[in-house]
Copies of this chain bind each other. A is one copy, B any other.
């Protein structure tokens, strides 16, 4: 028997490959709306971290989460990597929302600026990701992390590489 006190939590998740396979005939925005609507499960990492997709429109996607102690670094604040995961999800999905069926993307790089610490007392925070530029092979996006009062905690930019269907580039853009 597993007894979970106040510092324990059970995490469960769904098979990500099955979901992705089911989704591969859909355009990006339809995949995201299926997750938003519950027809497709959220990805495992979202279940691990407690992230929720909050809003989906063309080129603009919002993720949110409730900061918890299990997100903390030794300094007693939410680890910057967790905030980055939220920002990256919002940026990547914003790009994905603009891709037609068969196109995929990978994040080549991202940069995040951390402005203020996020704590349990901060309450729910959301990351609004939006496409800055969409080209044939490359897209850039930006995202802002704000609390319920609109106070800014972090901001980020990223570069994504867009891949065509047949191409095996989808799985390894970089292998020499």
Could you tell me which A residues sit within 8 Å of B by CB distance? 1-2, 4, 7-17, 19-20, 23, 31, 35, 43-45, 47-49, 69-76, 79-82, 84-89, 92, 104, 106-117, 132-138, 140, 142, 152, 155, 157, 159, 161, 169, 171-176
Contacts and interface: CB of A to CB of B under 8 A. Distances in A.
9 contacts: A2-B10, A7-B14, A8-B11, A8-B12, A23-B74, A43-B73, A85-B85, A108-B113, A140-B155
What are the 10 A-B residue pairs with the smallest beta carbon separation, nearest first? Answer: A81-B85, A135-B174, A111-B111, A45-B79, A8-B12, A43-B74, A2-B2, A115-B174, A16-B72, A109-B113
Given A133-B152, A134-B176, A16 B84 contact: no
Contacts of A115: 133, 135, 140, 174
A110 to B, nearest CB: 6
A76 B20 contact: yes
Contact of A81 (B82, B108, B174): B82
Counted per complex, copies of this chain come to 4
A69 B110 CA distance: 23
Q: In the complex, which of the residues A82, A108, A110 has the most CB atoms of chain B within 10 Å of its own CB atom?
A: A108
A35 to B, nearest CB: 8
Q: In the complex, which of the residues A13, A81, A88, A108 has the most CB atoms of chain B within 10 Å of its own CB atom?
A: A81
B173 A135 contact: yes
A163 B113 CA distance: 18
Contacts of A43: 72-74, 79
Contact of A70 (B2, B11, B73, B80): B11
A137 B73 CA distance: 22
A106 B113 CA distance: 11
